[in-house]
Amino acid sequence: MKLRFGTRGSRLAVVQSTEVADALRARGHEVELVTIRTSGDRLADVALADFGGKALFVKEIEEALLDGRVDGGVHSLKDMPAELPEGLCLAAFSARQDPRDVLLTRSGGTLDDLPRGARVATSSLRRRALLLARRPDLRVEPIRGNVDTRLRKLEEGLYDAMVMARAGLQRLGLKPEHIQVLPADEFLPAVGQGILGVEARCTDRAVLEVLESFDDPAARAEAEAERAFLRRLGAGCHTPVAGFAQVHDSVLAIDGLVASVDGRTVTRGRALGAPGNAAAVGERLADDLLARGARALLEPERA
């Protein structure tokens, strides 16, 4: 079968889309990648939270899907909003790569070794809140641009350190000299971090059948729990939220948190259940956090 997949044009996006395309080519399918420039790519120097958040990285690809110009879209799952447009679904999930964050520094050392007032760059409100919860003295500053651009800014001395996803570095084959992997139990990953999601039209049975062979069951259960958690919270792009599910020995465990932007208030929780009930487990965790104070952190965003 011949398939056309939409992808962003960054080096990381193309590497990710090629990973999916090569897996399907190995199964005898012909796959063409179609580069689509998204609003998030065009607005490279603004705070995305003020212009639509995560949706800006997928909007044009989803439009191409709905118009029939492409058969599927490959996304970093962490860049996808909790709600999808009517008629579209996540048809497949890749096996999850390392979901943890990493700290990159110019001179080596750990997060505790950074001097007071050190400038730490991140594009994520989640990472900002968790950094300030651990080190309130840090100057956490926003950064945009692709992975190579961010690394160059660190090397040029614009920042003392930077936090980013380890999976992106791994997929690009990058091994920075001074890197510390941040423990997932403290620096809880973003919803979907390390997973690729393939979006398709819900009614396109032929494409859905092809993508079924690529779908990773464990990643699907983890993704469904995390995304149900995010949807139930009703969180948008102005509140730090983290959700990380893991399947071990037929048990699904999901950890989640909602925090204030300054990191002074962090509400955490955990829920357990069966992988086959992934969405319900994620929703149960969200309900628990909402009941224990997370609602107050989300109210300003909902107002």
Query: What confidence tens digit (pLDDT) does each residue in 143-175 have?
Result: 988 899 999 999 999 999 999 999 999 999 999
Per residue in 184-211, pLDDT (tens digit) is 999 999 999 999 999 999 999 999 999 9
Tokens 């909003």 correspond to 81
Torsional sign, CA 212, 279, 222, 196? positive
User: Does residue 79 carry a catalytic annotation?
Assistant: yes
Packing angle, helices 147-155 and 11-25, rounded to 10: 140
Residue 38, φ and ψ in degrees, nearest 5: -95, 165
Bridge partners of 228, per DSSP, are: none
The whole-angstrom separation of Cα 90 and Cα 72 is 9
State the pLDDT at residue 51: 47
State the pLDDT at residue 301: 56
Do 191 and 152 contact (CB within 8 A), yes or no? no
Per residue in 3-43, pLDDT (tens digit) is 999 999 999 999 999 999 999 999 999 999 999 987 666 55
Bridge partners of 179, per DSSP, are: 104
Q: Name which of 267, 300, 99 is nearest 195 in CA terms.
A: 99
Per residue in 100-159, pLDDT (tens digit) is 999 999 988 999 999 999 999 998 999 999 999 999 999 999 998 889 999 999 999 999
CATH class for the domain made up of 101-181? alpha beta
**Domain ranges (residues) in the chain:** 1-94+195-215, 101-181, 217-303
Q: How many helices (H) and strands (E) does the chain have?
A: 10, 13
Instruction: Label each residue of 170-221 as H, E or C.
Output: HHHCCCCCCEEECCCCCCCCCCCCCCEEEEEECCCHHHHHHHHCCCCHHHHH
pLDDT at residue 52 is higher than 90: no
| pLDDT tier, 67 (very low <50, low <70, confident <90, very high otherwise) | very high
State the pLDDT at residue 47: 52
Mean of per-residue pLDDT scores for the chain: 93
The whole-angstrom separation of Cα 226 and Cα 281 is 9
Mean pLDDT lowest for which of 196-205, 215-224, 271-280, 293-302? 293-302
Nearest-5° Cα angle at 64, 62 to 67: 110
| Ordered strands of the 139-142 beta sheet | 139-142, 119-122, 161-165, 101-105, 179-181
State the pLDDT at residue 303: 46
Residue 11, φ and ψ in degrees, nearest 5: -60, -40
State the pLDDT at residue 144: 82
State the pLDDT at residue 262: 96
Q: Which of 22, 45, 71, 79 is catalytic?
A: 79
Per residue in 228-284, pLDDT (tens digit) is 999 999 987 789 999 999 999 999 999 999 999 999 999 999 999 999 999 999 999
pLDDT at residue 76 is higher than 70: yes
Let me know if the fold of 101-181 is the same as that of 217-303: no
Q: End-to-end alpha-carbon separation of the chain, Å?
A: 48
Bridge partners of 140, per DSSP, are: 120
CATH of 1-94+195-215, one of 1.10.3210.10, 3.10.290.20, 3.40.190.10, 1.20.1250.20: 3.40.190.10
Q: In sequence order, what DSSP letters do the residues of 108-138 get, joined into one string?
A: ---GGGSPTT-EEEES-HHHHHHHHHH-TTS
Bridge partners of 34, per DSSP, are: 6
Tokens 């509400």 correspond to 267
Q: Pull the structure tokens for residue 224.
A: 């469904």
CATH of 217-303, one of 3.40.720.10, 3.40.50.300, 3.40.50.2000, 3.30.160.40: 3.30.160.40
